Structure 1
Amino acid sequence: MTADTRQGPQQRDLGFQLRQEWDDAATLLPEATVPELFARRVAEEPGAIAVETDDEEISYARLDARTDRLARRLVEQGVAPGDNVAVLMRRSSDLVAALLAVAKAGAAFVPLSARDPVTRMHAVVAGSGCRLLLVDETTQDHEMTSHLAYLRADAEIGADAPPRGAPVETDPFGDRTAGPEALLYIMHTSGSTGAPKGVAVTHRNVVAFALDRIWRSGDHNRILFHSPHAFDASTYELWVPLLTGGTVVVAAGQADAALLRRLGGAGRITSLWLGAGLFGALAEADPECLAGLRQVWTGGDVVPPAAVARVQSACPGLTVYDGYGPTETTTFATRHRIARIHPEDRPVPIGGPMDNTRVYLLDDRLRLTEPGESGQVYVAGDGVARGYVSQPGLTARRFLPDIFGAPGGRMYATGDVARREPDGSLNLLGRADNQFKIHGFRIEPGEIESVLAGHPEVSRAVLLVSKTPDGSGHLAAVVVPAAPGRRPDPEALRGYLADRLPAHMVPARIVVRAGLPLTAHDKVDHRILMSELAAADAGPAAPTAPTAPETAATAETMARVAELWSAVLGVDRIAVDDSFFDRGGNSLKLIGLHARLCRTFGVDIPVQRLFEISSIRAMALYLQRAAGPDEGPVLVGDPRSVSAASARGAARRDRIRASREHR
C-alpha cells in the first residue's frame, strides 16, 4: 500500500487545517530518560510522598534509595544497558521500585502476569531474550524460577535499608540508560500467528506521554495503581505521577466499588483509569462509589453513553474523559472530555490528539479523508513505539513512514476505523480487520484459532464473538474433529487452551461440528454459526427449587440473588447451582454483581470470595451466615443494614488504629 501523492485543493485545505491542529498539540520536551526526570523530582522535593500503600508512605528520596540498592544488585548480576529483565511480582511498592531500578540499570522491563499460563510466559521471555527474572515473596516459588535465573527484588530493596525515620542514603546510583531512544519496557499483546507480540516502548515515548499538558490540572496528583503491570494502563498509573511529582497510590486488591468509595471518599486518590467494561459495571451497580474523585479516564473499548450519564448524575463534581490508544502508541493517543450532558443515543467520541501526537484518517490509498468520511486511524508523533520485538516484517507493515511528517518519522496503522466530525473530534466505527477488544483486552482471533487447531483432535477452529453495549462480551469457538466419527471433549479443549492462553482468551463455550458452513464465496459463514449458538441458548434451565433443609429465609435470599444475577448477566432463567462464569459471567461482571450484593444485603463481602462461591445457592448461604444464624437477609432499607454497617465500620477503624499504634 503506497500513498497517492496527487492532492487536489480540498486535500490541501484539509491538510492545512490538520497541520494547525498538530501545531497546537506540539510542546517542547526535554531530552531526558525516565530515571533522569525522576531524579529531578527527587532533587526538587525529596520529602514529598512518591508511593503510598495501606501500610506506608514512601518519600521520593526513600524510593530513590530503594531503587538504587536494587539497581546496584542488578548490575552485579550482569545486567547491562540494552538488556531485558522479566518482572513477575505482585502489585506493591516493591514492584514500583523494581521497575524504576531496571530502568536505572539501563535495561528494559518485561512484565509478566501471574495469571498467564507458564507456556505463554516462556514465549514472552524467549521472544524478549530475558536472562533474569525479578520475583518477590509471593512469586519466588513460581514454576518460572526453575527455568530462569531469578532475584528476590523485595529482599534486595529491603537489604541494609536504614530504619524508619533514619536519614536516607545519599550515594546515588545514577542512570546507565543509553538515552531517550533506549527501551523502557516491552509489553505483549495478542498476535495473529498464535504467539504474543512484544511492543517495544522507549523512554522518549513515556516521557512524552507523562509530560502531556493534560495532566497539569492538579487532578492527577494522586493516581490509583490498580492495573496489572503487564497492561499499558499502568503507564499512566505509574509514570504520570512519578515524573510530575505526584503520588502512586497502590491498590492492595481489586478495584471494586468498596475500595474506590473508601479511597476516593477519604481524598486518598484524585483520579484513576477504568477500562470501559469495569466503568460500565460500576456505573450500573454503584455509580456513587466514584464520588470524591476529580477525574476518571475510561476507554479501551466503546464507552457506553448511558454509563457516563449515570456516573455524572451521581457524581456532579467528577470529570470523565474517554482516552483512546493502542499499546503501540503509548497508552493514549487521543482524549475527549465528555460533556456533562451527552446524548445517550450518540457514541462517545475519542476526541483529539494528545500533545506531540498527530492522528490521520486515511483511505486505502493513504489519502486524508474529508470530514464526515470514514478512514483508518493512523497515529504519528512522539508516542509511537519502536516496533515489535524480533518481528521486522510485522513492524514494517504496521509502522509506516509518516507521509505528512518530517523525514524519518513513522506512523502506526491502528486498524481502527473512525470518522472525523465537523468539530474535529473523532468517532470510532469499528475495525478494518477482524481484531476486537473484550474487557479492554485486544484479541486476535487468529491466535486463539491457531492454538486450538494445534490440538491433535482438531482440524479447524473458528472463533465467534458476541459483543454487548457495555464493552463486555462472550467468546465461543466451533471446532471440526481431525478424524471423522471422533468427537473431542469441549471441556478438555478449554483446558488445553487454558494451559496456553490467558484466561480472557479462553472461550466460554466450544461447540463440535462435523463441518463449517460456507458462504457463496467459500468463506466461513459466521452468521449461521452465531444463529446456531443463539438457538442453543434460547432455553436455559429454570431455577432449581430449594432442597428440604433450606429455610424459607434462604429461599428468599436465593430469589433476590437470582434477580441480581439476571440484571448483571442479562439472562432470565438461571438454576441456583449454575456457575456464574458458565452463564456468561466474567471478572468485570462479577465486580458489578459484588456492588449490587453489598448494597442490597448491607454486607461487606470480599470480592475475591465470590470467585469461590460462584452459584446462587452458595452465595445465598454465605449471605445467611453473614447476617447471623437467627436472622434473615438484611436488605437495604432494613434498620439492621444501617446498624450492622456502622458496627462493622467502627470495628474496622478500631483495628486500623490499633495496628498503627502497634507499629
Structure 2
Amino acid sequence: MSESTGDDFPFVRTRVVLVTGTVLGTLDGLPARLAALGLLPAGRGAAGALRIADLDVGGDRAQAAELGRQDAEASRLAAPDAADLSIRLLRAGQGDGVLVIAARSDRTTADRVLRATVDHLAGHDLTPPAGAPVTPSASDAATRWRTWPAGLPQIIELPTDVRRPSPLPVTRSALAVADVALVGADVAARLLAAFAVVLARYTGHHRQALAVRLPFRADTGGELCPVEVILDGVGTAGELVDAAGSWLRHARRLRPPRQAELTRGGLVPDGRRFPWAQFGIQLSDEAERRWTAGGVTAVVVEACDEPLDLLLDVTVAADGTASATMSWSSGVLDLTEACALRDSLESLLPEMSRCPGMPLADLRAVTAPQRARLAQVNAEAGHAPQEPLEVLFARRARLTPAAVAVRDETGREVTYQELLDLSGTLAARLTGAGVRPGDTVLLALPRSLGEVVAVLGVVRAGAAYAAVDPAWPDARLAAIAAAARPAAVLALDADAARLAAMTSAPAVPVPTAGFARGPGAGPLELSPNRAAYVVFTSGSTGTPKGVSVPASAVVHLAHRPGFVDAGPGTRFLRLAPLSFDASTLELWAPLLNGGTIDVFPAGPVTPHELGGFLRERAVTTAWLTSGLFRLMAQQCPADFAGLRHLLTGGDVVSPEHVRALLRAHPGILVTNGYGPTENTTFTTVHHVDTAEDVEDPLPIGRPLPGTSVHVLDADGRLVPPGAVGELYTGGWGLADGYLDQPEQTAARFGRLSPDIPERLYRTGDMVRLDGRGRLRYLGRNDQQVKIRGYRIELDEVTRAVAEHDAVHDAVVAAVDGATGRRLLAAVTPPLPASVLDRVREHVSGLLPGYAVPSLWVSVAQFPLTQVGKVDARTLAALADGRTPGTTSAPPGTPPTVDVPGPAADPAQLAFVVMSQALGRTDIGPDDDFTVLGGDSLSLAAMLAALRNDHGRKVSARDFYLQPTLRRLGELLHAAPRATRVPEPIGARGGDHA
C-alpha cells in the first residue's frame, strides 16, 4: 500500500457504494488483483491486513445501503488491531448490492481500492498499476504551513449542547443542502463563501482554518489542505465570493501539513478532534462519485475520511450545476443543531447570488423561524414598575404592621411598623442635615439593624446610598468620595469622623430600636425613576466606576418577584456586603413582600458559623456566592437541611455540589442567578430541584420578566439561535449608567444594535442560547474577572502592581484552585520575599481587599505557552510551591511542612495551618494574615482544617480582630474541642457526575 502524505493522521477511510447492474460478479480472486496493483496493506502480514466478506442481506437497495452505513460506522470504531483493509459486499435483491470499503490509508489509496473492486465485480481486465505519485517540487514543498499563522485560533468549537466525547468522535450524519443557486462557474466559490459566513456567525471567529480538498490532486494523496479564511476587511457579498475563489486557487498550491510541522506551530493532537481544523469543504467532480464499469454502475453514497466536526461535500457536474450535502460528527452536534446550520447556509446562498453588492455585515444567516425563536426568549413581559420604592414599602408596613421585618444580629425582632418609624426618623434627620432628593449619602455600616434602617431612611429622603467598607484603603475611599460627592455620611462613631473629614459632609446618627425617636419624615413627591443606590465597581482606568441604579429597577427586581418567594413566612438571609449588589435582593425582596430579614452578625464568614446561623434562625432563603456555597457543601452539608430555596452565583457554580446537595436534601430549590450590577442583581435565573436535572455546566437560564436578553456579534448584530456572541440586556432593570462618566456610559449603555430598537447594556459576557431556550455562559471577552462575586478589572490590578519601583513588569491573572478562583500576581525581576511583601502592601494601600492578589511570585522572565501567551498555570504552580506540571495540591499546601496530629503544640499547629492556607512558610509571629494574601475563603479553609482535621474550634471574628500567627496560637491554646463534621457533600462516589 502506498505511503500516505497524511500518514501522521491514521484515520479509517470508509466508502459506502451502491452497485447496480445486470452483471455482478463475486469477490473471489480480489486479493490477487489488489496485490498485483500494489494495494494490499503491508507490515502486519496478509492474514491480519485484509478481510473480505460477501453477504446476502436480502431486501431492497435502500435497506442494504442503511446496513452499509452501519457497517462503515462499525469499521470506523474498530480497534487499532483490526484489519487495515476491509471489503464487504452486501447483496440485495435483483443483482443490486452495497459495497463497503474501510481502509487505514490515505484517501487516494482508499479510492483506488474502491475502483479496483468495482472493476473486479464488473469483470474488467486488470487495470495496470498507476504511475508513480507526483512528487511535490521544492517550491511546492515550501508552501506547507510550517508555523500556525499568528492570531489564527488553533481550535474553533462549534456551539452545541452536545459534550464532545473522547476519543475522537467518528459517527457521522448528513443532510442535503437545497440546490438553489448552485449553478455557474463560481458555484464552488459561492458555497465556500457562504459556508465561511455561517461558521463566522455561529462561532464568532472571522479568521478560520478550513480544511479543503480539491479534485484531481494526486500529488497530495487526496488529503486535506489548510486554507486560511479571513472575513475582516471584506465589504460585500460579491467581494467575498471573489475572495473565496482566490482561497480555492491558493489551496491548489498547498500541501497537507505533517504533524511535525504543526507541532512547531503549537498544534498538538488532543485525541478529541482533528488536529488542525474542525471544518472543511470537499469539492468533487461528478465522475469521482458516479461511474460505469462494464454493465455495473457505482455511486458513492457516503464517503468518510477525516473526522471533521463539519464538512460541506460538494459535487459539481459537467453542466456547472452542483449538489451539496453537509455532514457532521454526531458526537459534536445533534440533529436539531445541524439542521439549524444547514438552514442558515441555505438562507445565505440566494442572497449572495441575487445581491452581490449586499454588505457582508447584512448577511446574517438568520432565517425567519430562527428570528421567531429569538423573539420567544423575551416573550414574558411581566409588570412595569410604576410606584415609587418607598411607597411600596410603606404600604407593606401598613398592611402587616406587627409582622417581624428584621431579626437583627443579636436576635432582636423589629416589626414593620417599627422599621417604618425608625427609617422615617432617619429620613427627617437627613433632610435636616441638608440632604435633598437626588443627593448621595455615603453609607459605611456593618451588617446590622442600623444598616437596614439607613438604607430605608436614605431612600425615603429621596437620596441614593453609596456603600463603602471603612476597611478599604484611604486612596480608594477618597476616590469614591470624590466621585459620589455625598451630602451626608452614615457610619459608626469610629469611622464617621474619618469619612466626614474626607468628604466634608456631615455625619448623621442612625436611630435603632434603642434610640429615642424624633419626628418622622414628611411626605415627599419622589420620582420612581430617581437613583436608589450607587455601586462602585473596579474600573479599567484605575478609577472606581459608580453604577447608578434607579429605584424603578429595584422595584422590578424585588416587588412580587416570580423567581423567589419573599412573602410572609419566609426568612431571608442578610449576608452580602452592602457594596455588593446581591444585598439589593436580600434587603428589598423581603421588605417589599412581607418576609423577614435575618441579619448575620458583622465580620468574616466561615461555613460552620454560617451553617449554625441558618439552623438557629430557621432561615428559609439564602443567597451565597458560588465559592461559599462550595465550602459549605464540603464542610457542613447538614446545615442546608432547613432551607427551602438556595440562590447562588457570582461565578461559575459547581454542578457536582448542586447535584449532591439535592440528593442529600430533597425539596430544596437551587437557583443559579446571573446578572451584572448594571442590570440590578439578576438578569437571568436557572432553577433545579432534582439531582437528575443538574447539567454540567449549569445554564444561566432565562431572563426575568421585563428583562430582555440578546446575543449579538462584535458589530452588535443578531446571531442565529445557538451561536456564540456577546450578551446584551435591556428592560426595566437597567442602571442609569456610570456616575459622571458619560464616555464610559455611552460605550456600554444605549441603542447599541441596529437589530434591537431599545436601550441596552453591553455585558462583555460571551454566551449562547441552547436548544431549550436557555442562556449558557462561556466566558468574558475582556480583562474582567469575578472573584467571590466581586467584579475586578485585571488591568486596574496590573497597573497597581506595576507602579511599585521594584517591579519591572507585571502580569495578573485569575486561576482556579480548591477554594475557588484566586488572583495571581507575577512580577519581574526576581525579588526577595521581603520586597515582594512590600509590593503587596503597596497594592493593598490602593485596592480593596477582594482585588488584592492572594498568590504572588517573582521570576526572571514570564513562562510562555506554545502560542506565546503567559503561562498562568506554571506561575500559579510556582506561587503555590509546586513543581510546574505536577498534579495540583490544594492551593497553599507547602511541600516542606508536616501536618501534626490533634495533640500538636498550639504554636506549631498555628504555623502549619496558616502556611497551608497562604501557600508560604516565611511567616513571622506578628505578620498580618490578610497582608500575606489571606482572603475570606482561605480563612474559612484554614478554620475548617482546624475543626475537621485537628478538632479545634476557633472563631473567625476572634482571629480577624488580630489576624497574626501569634494570635492564632493563643486562640488555639484556649480553643474548645470541636466535633468532627459529617462527610462532605460530593465525597461519596455516587454523588459525582
Structure 2 length normalisation: TM-score?
Answer: 0.56
1:38-53 alignment runs, 5 A limit: 38-53=393-408
Pair 1:454-2:803 in alignment: yes
1:617 and 1:422 map into 2 onto residues whose CA distance is 57
Look up the match of 1:117.
Answer: 473
Look up the match of 1:543.
Answer: 897
Pair 1:57-2:413 in alignment: yes
Look up the match of 1:18.
Answer: 374
2:648 and 2:862 map into 1 onto residues whose CA distance is 38
Code of the aligned partner of 2:840: R
Q: CA contact under 8 A between 2:566 and 2:590: conserved in structure 1?
A: no
Look up the match of 2:874.
Answer: 531
Provide closer, same or farther for how the CA distance between residues 616 and 313 of structure 1 changes in structure 2, counting only shifts above 3 A: farther
2:383 and 2:755 map into 1 onto residues whose CA distance is 17
Q: CA contact under 8 A between 1:35 and 1:175: conserved in structure 2?
A: no
Look up the match of 1:321.
Answer: 671
Pair 1:381-2:737 in alignment: no
Look up the match of 1:194.
Answer: 542
Match of 2:776 among 427, 432, 457: 427
Q: CA contact under 8 A between 2:572 and 2:586: conserved in structure 1?
A: yes
Pair 1:356-2:706 in alignment: yes
Deviation at 1:57, TM superposition (A): 1.2
Q: CA contact under 8 A between 2:673 and 2:682: conserved in structure 1?
A: yes
Pair 1:239-2:583 in alignment: no
1:345 and 1:366 map into 2 onto residues whose CA distance is 30
Provide closer, same or farther for how the CA distance between residues 81 and 532 of structure 1 changes in structure 2, counting only shifts above 3 A: closer
1:299 and 1:390 map into 2 onto residues whose CA distance is 29
Bigger Rg over Cα:
2
Code of the aligned partner of 1:526: V
Code of the aligned partner of 1:183: A
Code of the aligned partner of 1:81: P
1:423 and 1:27 map into 2 onto residues whose CA distance is 21
Pair 1:297-2:655 in alignment: no
Deviation string for 1:368-401 (max 9, x for gaps)? 3334321111111111111111111111111131
Pair 1:203-2:546 in alignment: no
1:73 and 1:506 map into 2 onto residues whose CA distance is 37
1:66 and 1:387 map into 2 onto residues whose CA distance is 31
Deviation string for 1:169-196 (max 9, x for gaps)? 8x6532353x121100110111100111
In percent, how many aligned pairs have the same letter? Answer: 33
Q: CA contact under 8 A between 1:224 and 1:272: conserved in structure 2?
A: yes
Deviation at 1:72, TM superposition (A): 1.1
Q: CA contact under 8 A between 1:336 and 1:350: conserved in structure 2?
A: yes
Question: How many pairs align?
Answer: 610
1:516-595 alignment runs, 5 A limit: 525-527=869-871, 530-532=873-875, 534-535=877-878, 537-538=881-882, 540-543=894-897, 553-554=903-904, 585-595=934-944
2:819 and 2:368 map into 1 onto residues whose CA distance is 39
1:344 and 1:50 map into 2 onto residues whose CA distance is 34
Code of the aligned partner of 2:790: F
Deviation string for 1:219-249 (max 9, x for gaps)? 9822111111111010011011111111111
Moved more, 119-128 or 370-379: 370-379
Deviation at 1:265, TM superposition (A): 2.5
Q: CA contact under 8 A between 2:862 and 2:870: conserved in structure 1?
A: no
Output the aligned Cα RMSD.
3.8
Deviation string for 1:256-289 (max 9, x for gaps)? 3344433433454211110011111111111112
Q: CA contact under 8 A between 2:947 and 2:978: conserved in structure 1?
A: no
Secondary structure at the residue paired with 2:510? helix
Look up the match of 1:642.
Answer: none
Moved more, 390-399 or 303-312: 303-312
Pair 1:504-2:504 in alignment: no
Q: CA contact under 8 A between 2:497 and 2:507: conserved in structure 1?
A: no
Provide closer, same or farther for how the CA distance between residues 21 and 343 of structure 1 changes in structure 2, counting only shifts above 3 A: closer
Code of the aligned partner of 2:535: M
1:188-337 alignment runs, 5 A limit: 188-211=536-559, 212-216=561-565, 221-253=570-602, 254-266=604-616, 268-337=618-687
Look up the match of 1:27.
Answer: 382
Provide closer, same or farther for how the CA distance between residues 619 and 107 of structure 1 changes in structure 2, counting only shifts above 3 A: closer
Look up the match of 1:495.
Answer: 841
Provide closer, same or farther for how the CA distance between residues 563 and 535 of structure 1 changes in structure 2, counting only shifts above 3 A: closer
Provide closer, same or farther for how the CA distance between residues 614 and 209 of structure 1 changes in structure 2, counting only shifts above 3 A: same
Deviation at 1:148, TM superposition (A): 2.6
Deviation at 1:129, TM superposition (A): 2.0
Provide closer, same or farther for how the CA distance between residues 126 and 616 of structure 1 changes in structure 2, counting only shifts above 3 A: closer
1:214 and 1:496 map into 2 onto residues whose CA distance is 43
Look up the match of 2:150.
Answer: none
Look up the match of 1:92.
Answer: 448
Provide closer, same or farther for how the CA distance between residues 28 and 581 of structure 1 changes in structure 2, counting only shifts above 3 A: closer
Unmatched tracts of structure 2, length 5 or more: 1-231, 233-358, 884-893, 983-993
Deviation string for 1:331-368 (max 9, x for gaps)? 01000112522588821111111121111111223233
Deviation at 1:15, TM superposition (A): 2.6
Q: CA contact under 8 A between 1:558 and 1:616: conserved in structure 2?
A: no
2:978 and 2:457 map into 1 onto residues whose CA distance is 50
Deviation at 1:143, TM superposition (A): 5.4
Code of the aligned partner of 1:221: T
Provide closer, same or farther for how the CA distance between residues 577 and 11 of structure 1 changes in structure 2, counting only shifts above 3 A: farther
1:545 and 1:100 map into 2 onto residues whose CA distance is 50
Code of the aligned partner of 1:495: E
1:49 and 1:520 map into 2 onto residues whose CA distance is 61
1:45 and 1:620 map into 2 onto residues whose CA distance is 50
